[in-house]
Amino acid sequence: MKGKNILYWLRSVMVIAVKDIKVYYMTPSMIMFGFLIPFFLFFSFTVGRHLSIQSSIVRLISMTVFFTSSSAGQVILPMERRMKTLDRILATPVPLSALIIGKSFVGLFFGFTVSILPVIFALLFFKLTVSGIGLLLIGIFLSSWVFSMMGVFFSSFPVQKPGSVMMPSTLLRWPLLFISGIFIPLTAMSPLLRGVSYISPLTYTVDILNLSVTGSSIQSLFINFGVLIILNVIFYIFAVKLFIRGKVLGY
Amino acid sequence: MKNIVEVENLTKYYKKFRALNSVSFSVEEGEIFGFLGPNGAGKSTTVRILNTLLLPTSGRVFMAGHDLGKEPYEVKARIGLVPEISNPYLELSCYENLLFTGRLFGMKNRDIRSEIDNLLDFFELESKRNVKAEFLSKGLRRRLTIAMGLINRPKLLFLDEPVSGLDIQSARLIKRLIREANEKGTTIFITTHQLNVANDLCDRIAIIQDGEIKALDSPDRLKKAAKQSQAVEIHLDKLKDVDIKELKSLKTVERVDVNKGKAKLFTEHPEILYPLLISWAEKNNIRIEIMNTLSPTLEDVFIEITGKGFKKGPEGQKKRHKKV
């Protein structure tokens, strides 16, 4: 049966991801929430603060992987639901898992690309030095996927307007930004705040990026990667459950 | 004839609200089946369950020989879906939209390309092959959307409001294309509020109301079974002077309505009434300018069954003109 065929599954993932990239990458919502906001935030909290290029690039990448990757799903899925194009996909033999992974790949590619460009730019023009380029790429890749999956999870609630997802998710994402060690290093936080910071997935991303760029980190790499992988799986499972719940309740 | 859809005791609750109450019906292979009902009757719920987009609370559905509950992927591979809104991806060309949809069904690229050529030709979209959907007119977008529903050569095509919002030419073309697709072997399942579309296209019609199937038959049989009797409408040159009581006293006349120079005589036997009316007019030196037989329309049947009409009375009736 096609639904169980691994090649069909992989092809479905890519077909969905490529279509979404072609159709949605240049939409105003994607440009606004996925591109402009992280860069505005970066300049607001960085310019004039005499940070090193290493610290600045970690700060910028943290925000791009976080905002850019998570925006894709939140823009695309409600739009597809409203236009009934999601119904067309759900009525085909494409497995739900392929649909969700495919949608998460869109944010992954978007976040990875937008994050990697400043790194290349800084390497070429600002004499950026990094401790481990491989670790940096893997860290950006995994983080982009986790936050993209988080966006897909948020948009798996049966809403038809991107704003209906963006509003609550932004309310959740902004506080995470300030407790994850981007603007205030974890070492400078009070024990209470530092404890709270560990509930934010962004904390683990920032630690990986710090290690790969500056060479210093707080937790072990094993914990950072482990937490991000587990969170990715959790977001995926909840997204699947929400889709199935939508099939029971209707939307 | 073999059934392509068999619905058995389908029930759906949205929390405590019962949207479908033990609905059962079947669709024969090769027919154009109409599914009608007022808003909130359970029409969309039924169709969404058949489209595999919604899970029923209880009941069974067999489609194309497969149990929807146990083999959803086998069912999905054999159906096509055309929603009410024409929704190709505007940023993609006609070719890219069809290619994407074909790939979702796991078709080989060679087969997709061949099917795209057939569909673009069939839907007269060949000249628009590489044109983005955003530049297509409403009618062309509708054709492309229907073509996307047919890319996997489905045994059963679900069409929601196939000609809604289209001009007359586009609507006629789409109805012709639907008939041709049906002649090629695709069973068509239409949901619509446009009763003339259902009347023109459908072999059989089911009417759902309050989550239950209230009627299921061919349009002609449904109309014949309607309680509303036939009527003869006459336009007279001096209607004002006519004694309505005399018209009421004519044999077989059940009731007479008079409105704006027209008299409508309700009867079960218009063929008996014609000569009586002509004799009556000659005797009273009255000229009958127009005489029409009015028979119940699908709209009358719909109103009778659902109790929710758009308009009642002679406006909804189909006229068979017979000038005297």
Q: Are both B103 and B27 inside the same structural domain?
A: yes
Q: Using CB atoms within 10 Å of the CB of residue A135, give its burial: 0 to 12 exposed, 13 to 18 middle, 19+ buried.
A: middle
Quote the domain boundaries for residue B255. Answer: 226-323
- Residue A225 to residue A218: CA distance in whole angstroms: 13
**Cβ contact (<8 Å) for B103 and A15?**
yes
Cα A222 → chain centroid: 20
Is the Cβ pair B100, A1 closer than 8 Å?
no
Looking at B188, B223, B258, which one is the last position of a domain?
B223
Q: Which of B223, B242, B268 represents a domain boundary (last residue)?
A: B223
Q: Check B73 against A93: CB less than 8 A apart.
A: yes
pLDDT at A165 over 60: yes
Average pLDDT of A28-32?
Answer: 79
Residues in chain B closer than 8 A to A3 (CB atoms): 72-73, 76
Inter-chain residue contact A22 with B91, CB threshold 8 Å: yes
Domain ranges for chain A, please list them.
2-42+51-249
Return the residue in A92, A103, A245, A249 with the most chain B beta carbons within 10 A, the one to mutate for interface testing.
A92
One domain, residues B161 and B308: no
Predicted local distance difference test score (pLDDT) of residue B15:
86
CA gap A117, A140 in Å, rounded: 12
Q: Decide if A148 contacts A72 (C-beta within 8 A).
A: yes
Statement to judge: residues B246 and B297 lie in one domain: yes
Q: What is the pLDDT of residue A251?
A: 65
From the list B14, B76, B92, which residue is nearest A91 (CB)?
B76
Position with higher pLDDT, B308 vs A126: A126
Of all residues in chain B, the one with the smallest CA distance to A26 is: B91
Q: Mean pLDDT over all residues of chain A?
A: 88
Residue ending a domain, among B200, B223, B246, is B223
Closest partner residue to B87 (CB to CB) among A15, A84, A247 is A84
Q: Which residues of B touch A (CB under 8 A)?
A: 14-15, 45, 48, 51-55, 72-74, 76-77, 79, 81, 83-85, 87, 89, 91-92, 96, 100-101, 103-106, 148, 152
**Is B167 in the same domain as B49?**
yes
Say if A10 is an interface residue toward chain B (CB within 8 Å): no
Q: Is A6 on the interface with B (CB under 8 A)?
A: no
Task: Provide the 3-class DSSP secondary structure of residue A83.
Answer: helix
Kindly determine whether residue A87 and residue B76, on different chains, have CB atoms separated by under 8 Å.
Answer: no
Summarised one tens digit per residue, pLDDT across range B275-284 is 998 998 888 8
Query: In terms of domains, do B155 and B13 share one?
Result: yes
User: Is residue A47 scored above 80 in pLDDT?
Assistant: no
Which chain B residues have a beta carbon less than 8 Å from that of A249? Answer: 14-15
Instruction: Give the distance from residue A204's alpha carbon to the nearest chain B alpha carbon, in angstroms.
Output: 36
CB contact under 8 A, A23 and B89: yes
Q: At what angle do helices A6-24 and A96-125 cross, to 10 degrees?
A: 60
Q: Is B87–A92 a contact, with Cβ atoms under 8 angstroms apart?
A: no
Residues on chain B touching A88 (C-beta within 8 angstroms):
81, 83, 87, 101, 104, 148
Instruction: Say how many CB pairs under 8 Å bridge A and B.
Output: 82
Distance in Å, alpha carbon of B105 to nearest chain A alpha carbon: 6
DSSP string, B166-221: --HHHHHHHHHHHHHHHHTT-EEEEE-S-HHHHHHH-SEEEEEETTEEEEEE-HHH
A20-29, A48-57, A222-231, B287-296: range with lowest mean pLDDT: A48-57
Q: How far apart are CA B203 and CA B8, in angstroms?
A: 21
Find which of B46, B48, B82, B103 to mutate to test the A interface (most A CBs within 10 Å of its CB): B103
Q: How many percent of chain A have pLDDT more than 70? A: 98
Residue B159 backbone phi and psi in degrees, to 5: -120, 120
Tell whether B200 and B266 lie within a shared domain.
no
Same domain, B37 and B61: yes
* Residue B197: CATH number of its domain: 3.40.50.300
Strand duo B58-63 + B3-14: pairing: antiparallel
Whether residues B167 and B31 share a domain: the answer is yes
Sort out which chain A residues have CB atoms less than 8 A from B100's CB and list them: 15, 19
**Do B142 and B50 have their domain in common?**
yes
Question: What pLDDT band is residue A116 in, cutting at 50, 70 and 90?
Answer: very high
Is B54 in Cβ contact with A247 (below 8 Å)?
yes
pLDDT tens profile A176-223: 888 888 888 888 888 888 888 898 999 999 999 999 998 888 889 999
Mutate to test the interface with B, among A14, A18, A19 (most CBs of B within 10 A): A19
From A63-67, A244-248, B269-273, B301-305, the region with the lowest mean pLDDT? B301-305
Greater model confidence, B284 or A19: A19
Whether residue A93 and residue B100 make contact (CB cut-off 8 A), yes or no, is: no
Task: Please judge whether A88 and B101 are an interchain contact, meaning their C-beta atoms are less than 8 angstroms apart.
Answer: yes
Domain count for chain B? 2
Name the residue facing A85 among B72, B79, B87 (closest C-beta).
B87
Q: Are B269 and B177 contained in the same domain?
A: no
C-alpha A179/C-alpha A195 separation (Å) is 10
Per-residue pLDDT tens over the stretch B168-201? 888 999 999 999 999 999 999 999 988 889 999 9
Res B243: pLDDT: 72
Cα torsion A176, A178, A179, A181 to 10°: value is 120
- B6 forms beta bridges with B26, B62
B61 and B174 assigned to the same domain: yes
User: Residue A85: what pLDDT?
Assistant: 94
Is residue B231 within 8 A of residue B263, CB to CB? The reply is: no
Residue A15: pLDDT over 50: yes
CA nearest neighbour of B43 among B214, B162, B253, B243:
B214
The verdict on B279 and B154 lying in the same domain is no
Does A83 lie at the interface with B, CB-CB under 8 angstroms? Answer: yes
Q: Which residues in chain B show pLDDT less than 50? A: 309-324
